[in-house]
Each structure stands twice: as C-alpha cells, then as structure tokens.
Chains A and B, each alone.
Chain A
Amino acid sequence: NAGVMQNPRHLVRRRGQEARLRCSPMKGHSHVYWYRQLPEEGLKFMVYLQKENIIDESGMPKERFSAEFPKEGPSILRIQQVVRGDSAAYFCASSAKRWEGTYEQYFGPGTRLTVT
C-alpha cells in the first residue's frame, strides 16, 4: 500500500512564476491536508480538503495561494507570483476520516520550494 506521494520533491521557481505542488493521498483516503514549514520552524496548517470541497482554509494566505482536490486526480496546491518568502517545505497529509477513535494523518515526503 503506497503512502502519500508528493511531487515534485524539489521545485525551483523565479520570483513571479507559478508553483504547482501535487499530492496523491493514500489509497482509500478522501481527506487531504496541506502544511507549510518555513526554514527553522515547525509545520503550520494551511488547508483541509475533501474531494471537490474545501473544508477549512483558515491557514491559507489570503492572496496568491489556492488549493483543490478534484474528483479525479491529485490534490494541487497552487502559488501564483511566488516571492522569496514562499520558499519552504510543503507537506501534504491524508486521512481516511476526519475524526475517529484512532484518528491519524499520514504525511508525505514534502516538496521543497525554492524561490530565486
């Protein structure tokens, strides 16, 4: 059973370009979460999605960032007009259900975004 997959693992963008980060959840999981880890910091929640729905985007910056999780295909985190401050590791996690007695999120390996 493959784990959470993220690609690309490393992404370099120049200022002003767009970055697209992909996350394929574990098989059977319909809940996806995105977290951002700025250099030398802990992970911060960004957004929680179910298939075709954004459930909680309270951690998403108001501008330039968007996320989707279509009926078919991976979840996409999109950053438009990237700036140097967007350089970070972006982790995706998935779970089978939102809250169960054995709640657990499984994390992907992360995408390291570098903005030059």
Chain B
Amino acid sequence: AQKVTQAQTEISVVEKEDVTLDCVYETRDTTYYLFWYKQPPSGELVFLIRRNSFDEQNEISGRYSWNFQKSTSSFNFTITASQVVDSAVYFCALTTYSSASKIIFGSGTRLSIRP
C-alpha cells in the first residue's frame, strides 16, 4: 500500500524565518514520483515540484529547496527567508508505477507566515 504522512498539521513562523515541511512516504514500488503542491487561500492547486525515485539529487529553486532521501523515505521541503505570500496549505503527494492512475496526497501542512 502507498501512503504519505505529513505529521505537521500547522506551522506558524515569523516572516524571514526559514521553515521546513516534513513528508514521509511509504511504497514498495521501486519506480515512483513525489510531488509538492501549494494551495493558497484562493483554493487552487499550484504545482511546485516533481521528483522521480531514481533521482536523489536535492533541488533548489529560489527560496525553495527539497531534500529527497530514499534511506528514510522522506521528501522534505524548506522555504528560506519566508514571506507572508508563502502562507498556504502545502501537500506532499506520491504516485507509483503500480498505481499510476492515482496520486496519493498527504493531509497537508498549513503554513502561516506572520509579518
């Protein structure tokens, strides 16, 4: 079975602080993709990143960075120098070769950035 766990339900930090959102996944497949999505208060889903299971390189995009570690089945997301506009719900998600029709989402982490 596949599963995504986001243990942090809510996080609140002051603007300009760094913040890390944790994501732990479970799958027996060796071929899978991991995702992060942002859902701002307006409600739409904003795609942030996709990472396949064969690429463990960390990625940086501006203030965002992702740390993929297969040894701990984690795909953590860090926002550096957070801004108020980063306030949103963030979802980690997984799709596997054996369940290619489905994306399995975590329950989300609500991030609030205080000015």
Contact = CB atoms under 8 A, between A and B. Distances in A.
Interface of A: 33, 35, 41-45, 48, 55-56, 59, 89, 91, 93, 98-99, 103-107, 109-110, 112
A44 B105 contact: yes
B102 A109 contact: no
A109 B46 CA distance: 9
A4 B48 CA distance: 17
Interface of B: 33, 37, 43-45, 47, 50, 91, 93, 95, 97, 100-108
Question: Main SS of the interface on chain A?
Answer: strand
B102 A59 contact: yes
A105 B107 contact: no
A89 B91 CA distance: 15
Nearest to B108: A42
